Structure 1
């Protein structure tokens, strides 16, 4: 499904606002310092959320925090005085998290627990990488698979006890590219073949399909939580395609193609955050485990991602692999 800008009729201002002095709403988001994540954090902050931005670089996250605060004040200056009486800014905090290092992921959850936040109302698994050459992390997993899925699995499972048992929401930012897993891939496959321009997308699809499967099973294992997956839209002006545009000589052709494709079918970084924001803030009732596309529209994910047997196999494979690395008690 390709979504153009004209179909993005969702307005974040219509979503509920909270007064943090009366109702403390805590959100934890990975990769919230740039791209789609930046605008997701901006809107949560404008809606009164206490937001913890988990990322590798403290300087980059703190720099983004200052930009978000400045932009929030600018936008509030354009809001009528009557509305300002019901709209309050939240808080912004940094949390160190390196998805390429499972030991650091574990440490990050321990640090967060030490902050004594009573509950997490909202967890957004936003960070991800894709369209890059084959590589293994120091933990021995394919780099896209660990970043986009395995580390998210570990991070979430460790923090599940802190999730709000009545209104908690977990949102996984996936991709329309998950449809490229046209049949069930073995999670042991690394697709370390050439040409990379083809097999990188199969590695990416497997990682994003696994995330959707995780949300579907999590919604069944913990029905008290609302778990959703979203495809943010075709956001072409992020660093996602940086590898391709930097290739000597032919990089300029990739850049031109991405710009042209984005003009017709793409959406901005802010519009890319709308699907996440609707799932995060809306009071509408959605079927738990649902999948949404650009603008927060309900859609159907791929056959493989919706196959509960395949999802169960992915869950079992992941827990066993993490147990081999010393990460136990993940059920």
Structure 2
């Protein structure tokens, strides 16, 4: 930029030249951006593809070829997501699978999809948030031998609310319903010396201290925070591991085993509302696209825990990627597990004849 003589003594020429310089600078930036954009986009795409391919190549797989002919497996939430994928695998192995869930339409669609396969598939209505529904389902299962129970169903991004039975909805669905169901199906599991497999999550590590479990508040979590539903979800996933561990201790010597697992972040709909209704939703979607497992990959650890010969007789363990791992220190606390168990017995109003464990 340089100064021009202005006969009027004003600054109009200076302003004009400054304006031209700014325009030229902006034009250069736009042209540079237009030139670089394809290259940066291509580089980003290559990085994304590399991450995606790497995840696919390193994803753990259940390597067991064991057949399941004549075996009966109950899967909660088996009408969709990871539960459905596990059901498909077990039916192909010859198992008789009962998918227990709340979505009747999806359950029937899954049943029709698997019709004619080697095993069989039944559908049954079960709303884990309602203890009355759990008891009705269990009543219909009386007398049946059960080789495996997969406590799989869960919710993650629902608003905090109490059910008609006075239970926090997410806690009832993710933990208390499974706690009661396992008790009520235990006679059938003992007949088969079966397996109880409970699906947790890496989110259990969000729980940093025992107060985060709200044991003193009867698991109602009566507070409102921006990320409150994620805190409750993490707490229920910690409860899954605590329950599974205490169950294993109580079942010692019965032949029934109890294990827990983290399936890993998978491309299911469990966080659908969260990604669609918050400003950070697009970032979560991008993470899921690049890093999350496919549904088939996410189901592998559940399949491994049910069918693999390596897990026969193993109890009280936590699995990730088809191998034994260590969960957080808090969920390994036996004292906390006992407190949760006692609180759960009271909240589901466990009756004397239902104390099968």
TM-based fold match above 0.5 = yes
Contact preservation (8 Å) 1:226, 1:288: yes
Match of 2:77 in 1: 31
Q: CA deviation at 1:10?
A: 1.5
Match of 1:92 in 2: 121
Q: CA deviation at 1:61?
A: 0.5
- TM-score normalised by the chain length of structure 2: 0.77
Q: Secondary structure at the match of 1:230?
A: strand
Contact preservation (8 Å) 1:165, 1:225: no
Give 1:315's match in structure 2, choosing from 341, 344, 349.
341
Match of 1:83 in 2: none
Match of 1:75 in 2: none
Q: CA deviation at 1:17?
A: 1.2
- 2:290 is equivalent to residue 290 of structure 1: no
Give the Cα–Cα distance (whole angstroms) in 1 for the partners of residues 94 and 104 of structure 2: 23
Q: CA deviation at 1:327?
A: 8.1
Give the Cα–Cα distance (whole angstroms) in 2 for the partners of residues 9 and 174 of structure 1: 17
Q: Secondary structure at the match of 1:99?
A: coil
Give the Cα–Cα distance (whole angstroms) in 2 for the partners of residues 101 and 9 of structure 1: 35
> Which deviates more, 198-207 or 36-45?
198-207
Q: CA deviation at 1:195?
A: 3.0
Judging by fraction of residues, say which structure has more helix: 2
In structure 1, list runs of 5 or more residues that go unmatched.
Answer: 73-88
Judging changes above 3 Å, is the alpha-carbon distance between structure 1 residues 158 and 4 closer, same or farther for their aligned structure 2 residues?
same
Match of 2:244 in 1: 215
Judging changes above 3 Å, is the alpha-carbon distance between structure 1 residues 56 and 263 closer, same or farther for their aligned structure 2 residues?
closer
**Structure 1 residues 13-54: Cα deviation after superposition (integer angstroms, max 9, x where no partner):** x33014x3xxx1000010001110111000000111000110
Judging changes above 3 Å, is the alpha-carbon distance between structure 1 residues 68 and 166 closer, same or farther for their aligned structure 2 residues?
closer
Contact preservation (8 Å) 1:95, 1:112: no
Contact preservation (8 Å) 1:322, 1:328: no
Contact preservation (8 Å) 1:55, 1:98: yes
**Structure 1 residues 165-204: Cα deviation after superposition (integer angstroms, max 9, x where no partner):** 56410100111001111111332253343433x2212211
Contact preservation (8 Å) 1:48, 1:91: yes
> Which deviates more, 55-64 or 221-230?
55-64
Contact preservation (8 Å) 1:5, 1:266: no
Give 1:246's match in structure 2, choosing from 243, 266, 276.
276
- 2:65 is equivalent to residue 15 of structure 1: yes
In structure 2, list runs of 5 or more residues that go unmatched.
Answer: 1-53
Give 2:140's match in structure 1, choosing from 87, 95, 111.
111
Match of 1:306 in 2: 332
CA RMSD of aligned residues (A): 2.1
Give the Cα–Cα distance (whole angstroms) in 2 for the partners of residues 321 and 145 of structure 1: 11
Q: Secondary structure at the match of 1:33?
A: coil
Q: Which has the larger radius of gyration?
A: 2
- 2:199 is equivalent to residue 173 of structure 1: yes
Match of 2:162 in 1: 136
**Structure 1 residues 87-116: Cα deviation after superposition (integer angstroms, max 9, x where no partner):** xx1110011211121111101100111xx4
Q: CA deviation at 1:238?
A: 1.6
Number of aligned pairs? 296
Give the Cα–Cα distance (whole angstroms) in 2 for the partners of residues 98 and 178 of structure 1: 23
Match of 1:233 in 2: 264
- 2:305 is equivalent to residue 279 of structure 1: yes
Match of 1:80 in 2: none
Q: CA deviation at 1:245?
A: 3.0
Match of 1:203 in 2: 232
Q: CA deviation at 1:328?
A: 6.5
